[in-house]
Structure 1
Amino acid sequence: MVNAKELKEITKNLTLLYVEDEDDLRVSVEGYLSKLFAKVVCATNGREGLDYYKNGQYDIVMTDIQMPLMDGLEMSKKIKEINPNQEIIITSAYGETIYFLESIRIGVNGYIIKPIDYMQMNQELYKSTLKLVSFKENVNYKLHLEDMVTERTEKILAMEDERTRNFENTILSFVEMIEDRDTYTGGHSQRVASYAKLIAKEMGQSDEDCELLYVAGMMHDIGKIATPDTILLKPGKLNDIEYELIKEHATVGYELLNKIPMYKKHAEIVRHHHERYDGKGYPQGLAGEEIPLLSHILLVADAFDSMTTNRIYKGRKNIDKAVEELDTFSGMQFHPDVVKSAIKVLSKIDIDTLITQLPQTEIEKERFSYFFRDQITDAYNKQYLDFILERNILKEYVCVNKLYLHNFNQYNQKNSWEEGDVFLNKFVTYLHKSYPLSTVFRVNGDDFVLMNKEHIEIDVKEFEALDFIQNANVNISVMHFDLRKKNISNKRELEEALLKAEQDD
């Protein structure tokens, strides 16, 4: 790593423009930079920074992204229009990774992740200043050419190696971030990459192409960095518009990787990994041999992992069923030659049967259930009740209490639907407070279900004593069912069981 003393040796005659709207950070970083550079000028937003740039000359521009009046990306674009060779370093928080693609398009020279690590900043400044100083040391090059060429070549090669590692780490970080956002696909990219490499070896592809495909497999979903969370994390089926939006990830991934010289070949593979052999895929609708062979392989590997992983609305297939489906769609969705090789190698592998899209931790469960919240009461809705009942095989939940609100329609008609919503919200708030261990669902408009992991009994008298219920003239009745007595897999079966229990009483 580059220390400040070593850096100062090559920055002491250079100037720098620093643009940052956060006062404390700007003052702190300015103090540090002033010890390194001959001149440091600071601006508080992109517009001010652009004005300073137009009225002066700066060896390096370092800027934040999100700022008032004009953001850092817009300012950088305008500066590049003035001087395409200007050295620009972007400072960006992890939450702003969606701007990474635009930064590449503009042609920025370096990236510093916030909160700022001064060792990382030293490294980025060193890379930029080394290029600048090389021009200013032209005379010394001529005087001591042989020694300096050797030394400089070693430094440049070292820089290129580090630059390559930085890009690799950055790209892999994006892959991890995508899988962290969508916890239900954790490990998907690694498995797809491994399957693709196995198939490619079976097909006699060169070691170079096998490695190329493996890396492409690791990055094949990187375009999902631009996919909104509401679509990426949606646990149900996508509608037509949502499907069109998520399809863009193939093109976004291509555009991102194609801007990086070392990933241009990978970009082409990623771009076409959702094309189909019969031409019905995306993004370009290519068919047959129009599609790169390595993309054909990646498509099969991707599909195989999807089939052998537990999905939210579809259980995993075993290996025999998965390879049978590959064979069924050979010549339609998949390249026939790829399918033949895939069946040979994938039939022999061991699949981790614990791989699942289903949420495991409490945080994952909360993120998942976010899509099943009732907007009025914040209770869960009946779709989530079906989901929980279907997966209650191990009897995690042992009992159900269903609360019926009688005369609630009359309350709505008398007081308005808005007041009715207020009443329901109060009612659910009371349920959460009084039964903190229960999972509360709103079903059939004005009925509620409490599912419990331990047996509880509810006395309707406690509700009758509440002022807001008495004033509303709403009556409440309760039905109970022991889930250990019978397997209940959906709301309809629960309704039937409750009705039968009432008749038996």
Structure 2
Amino acid sequence: MNEAQIKSIKAKTKNFSILYVEDEKELRESSSKFLRKIFPYVDIADNGQEGLEKYLQNSYDIVITDILMPKMNGLELIRYIREKNKKQEIIVISANTDAENLTKAIQLEVTGYVIKPINFDQILRILEQSIDKIVVFRENKMYSTQLESMVEERTRTVLELQNQLVENYEQTIYSLVEMIEERDTYTGGHSKRVASYSRDIAKEIGMSQEECQLIYQAGILHDVGKITTPDSILLKPGKLTQQECSLVQAHVLTGYKILSKVPMYHELAKIVHAHHEHYDGSGYPNGIKGEEIPFYSRIMMIADAFDAMTTCRIYKTKKSVGDAIEELNELSGTWFDPQILKSAIKVFKEVNFDEILKQEPHSYIDEERFTYFFKDTLTNVYNQYYLNFILQRNADKKSFSCLNILYLRNFTSFNNKYGWRGGDKFLYDFAAYLQKEFSDFRIFRIFGDDFVLLSKTYQTLDVEKINNFDLFKDSGIYCEFKYYDLSTDNINNYEELQEKNY
């Protein structure tokens, strides 16, 4: 035997196991001794039946068997093994030179057929062939397993990156939406409400869960284009000019451009782009009409209009649900799809407005952001537009119960004597005095030279103390005041206040 060859083969057979089936005791002992020089695990069986029992109980890399044996011959054993494992490495060692047995062994796809008496060098060559085949198979299997694992890991990584990318997109877009709504506290939550209304209308119509979720996402993002609308326009308390209207209308195109650049938002972009179109073609940006308008957009335009009607805006007070539904019905067939509107009205009749009625600034910063465009440029107190907004809102909420008007008498004479510059300085100094002296009040300049002081609790003014203020000395100006109890006096807007006093 070639000891160097045995050593070389042994290096390949770590963890290999072999089953040797032989009924001749002397040959079995000498052969098993030889096999143990090569393999770390060698199992022995005296006959085919015992060999099969061991094979069924254990796993072997190579099986070596004789042909002619008691209880079960080698060919029968091989047939049973092949039923369990078609790829099992099998070597036959036999004194039987019958051509029929040799042919049957070949048909059973044995690796080698060794004729007794045993030539160990020949067995070694055949064993090496089987060992190399098993090693290659194991390496391929390991590679395949590793490759599969690598593919799974790479796929998992790609999916994780895609999910992270989706999350990043969503977080970025949703952050933009929150930034937009934080610019105007009184319309905060508008996008979420439009999304919810749109989803509920879609559900009422009978759309699938996936379709309802799609329109909800579009609703969340429908005003994202307002990120480019200037605060001076978005928060303007008065009527917009034609140019300002054009800038506001541009938000649908901006939103479309933002969303269409993100592959996952292509469908949403189309919905957002058309949510200000009208059923009769009078909307924007493209003036399309009827079924030319995407179905989802026809749902969303109704949800958007309803929320605008039923919430306070910087330029108007809110409508009741009944009034909003009445106005929607008036626009059926002109602005809105009549069939969709029927389903929408069923949804709107069930809306709970408890949360909507809580739309107020939550902090000093919120209040200052909202009222920035309501400040009187001369005195830095609030102007008549904000007073009108507060009175309209107070009609429902009754947050303020006390209203005092301070009238500056003889101010026109003072103006004529000292000019507009002197008059402006007087108003500025007087407003500063009021802000310091009446810090618990909300102060407004109205009608040019009069002031309103609003309080949440009853507080009267000491007009004599005000008239003793140094500013009035030698000015010829003096104050008179009038008090209104807002819990009983019906003053719901600036016009009503004006009618009562002028």
Bin of the TM-score, shorter chain as denominator length: 0.5 to 0.7
1:152 corresponds, among 151, 154, 162, to 154
1:276 corresponds, among 259, 275, 278, to 278
CA distance in 2, matches of 1:219, 1:377: 39
Distance 1:469-1:162 versus aligned 2 partners, 3 A rule: same
1:459 to partner: Cα distance:
3.8
Q: Would the aligned equivalents of 1:441 and 1:448 in 2 still touch at CA under 8 Å? A: yes
1:100-499 equivalences under 5 Å are 148-311=150-313, 313-318=316-321, 320-347=322-349, 349-356=350-357, 359-361=360-362, 363=364, 364-393=366-395, 394=398, 396-406=400-410, 408-452=411-455, 453-460=457-464, 463-464=467-468, 466=470, 468-470=471-473, 473-483=475-485, 486-490=489-493, 494=497
CA distance in 2, matches of 1:485, 1:340: 40
Q: Would the aligned equivalents of 1:191 and 1:305 in 2 still touch at CA under 8 Å? A: yes
Distance 1:358-1:194 versus aligned 2 partners, 3 A rule: closer
Give the letter aligned to residue 469 of structure 1: F
Structure 2 length-normalised TM: 0.63
1:224 to partner: Cα distance:
1.1
Distance 1:185-1:438 versus aligned 2 partners, 3 A rule: closer
1:266 to partner: Cα distance:
0.8
User: The residue matched to 1:441 in structure 2 has which SS?
Assistant: strand
Q: Would the aligned equivalents of 1:223 and 1:253 in 2 still touch at CA under 8 Å? A: yes
Q: Would the aligned equivalents of 1:197 and 1:210 in 2 still touch at CA under 8 Å? A: yes
CA distance in 2, matches of 1:295, 1:221: 13
User: The residue matched to 2:483 in structure 1 has which SS?
Assistant: strand
CA distance in 2, matches of 1:461, 1:308: 44
Q: Would the aligned equivalents of 1:439 and 1:450 in 2 still touch at CA under 8 Å? A: yes
Distance 1:338-1:157 versus aligned 2 partners, 3 A rule: same
Give the letter aligned to residue 420 of structure 1: G
Deviations, residues 106-160 of structure 1 (Å, cap 9, x unaligned): xxxxxxxxxxxxxxxxxxxxxxxxxxxxxxxxxxx9xx96664443232212211
User: The residue matched to 2:281 in structure 1 has which SS?
Assistant: coil
Deviations, residues 475-505 of structure 1 (Å, cap 9, x unaligned): 2132232426633345565566568xxxxxx
Give the letter aligned to residue 272 of structure 1: A
CA distance in 1, matches of 2:488, 2:207: 58
Distance 1:146-1:401 versus aligned 2 partners, 3 A rule: closer
Give the letter aligned to residue 439 of structure 2: P
1:352 to partner: Cα distance:
1.8
CA distance in 1, matches of 2:482, 2:323: 41
CA distance in 1, matches of 2:214, 2:497: 53
Distance 1:247-1:458 versus aligned 2 partners, 3 A rule: same
Structure 2, unmatched stretches of 5+, are 1-142
User: The residue matched to 1:416 in structure 2 has which SS?
Assistant: helix
User: The residue matched to 2:307 in structure 1 has which SS?
Assistant: helix
Deviations, residues 164-209 of structure 1 (Å, cap 9, x unaligned): 1221222222222222222222222222222222322343434433
Q: Would the aligned equivalents of 2:409 and 2:480 in 1 still touch at CA under 8 Å? A: no
CA distance in 2, matches of 1:282, 1:400: 45
User: The residue matched to 2:473 in structure 1 has which SS?
Assistant: helix
CA distance in 2, matches of 1:389, 1:183: 18
Match of 2:100 in 1: none
CA distance in 1, matches of 2:345, 2:469: 67
CA distance in 2, matches of 1:159, 1:382: 54
Distance 1:246-1:403 versus aligned 2 partners, 3 A rule: same
State which structure, 1 or 2, has the greater radius of gyration over its C-alpha atoms: 2
CA distance in 1, matches of 2:353, 2:270: 30
Give the letter aligned to residue 269 of structure 1: I
RMSD of aligned alpha carbons:
3.0
CA distance in 1, matches of 2:293, 2:466: 68
Q: Would the aligned equivalents of 1:311 and 1:358 in 2 still touch at CA under 8 Å? A: no
Identity %: 45
1:281 to partner: Cα distance:
0.5
Distance 1:465-1:269 versus aligned 2 partners, 3 A rule: closer
Comparing 276-285 with 166-175, greater Cα deviation is found at 166-175
Structure 1 length-normalised TM: 0.62
Structure 1, unmatched stretches of 5+, are 1-140, 500-505
Q: Would the aligned equivalents of 1:184 and 1:356 in 2 still touch at CA under 8 Å? A: no
1:344 to partner: Cα distance:
4.2
Give the letter aligned to residue 292 of structure 1: P
User: The residue matched to 1:396 in structure 2 has which SS?
Assistant: coil
CA distance in 2, matches of 1:273, 1:457: 51
CA distance in 2, matches of 1:155, 1:340: 48
Give the letter aligned to residue 260 of structure 1: V
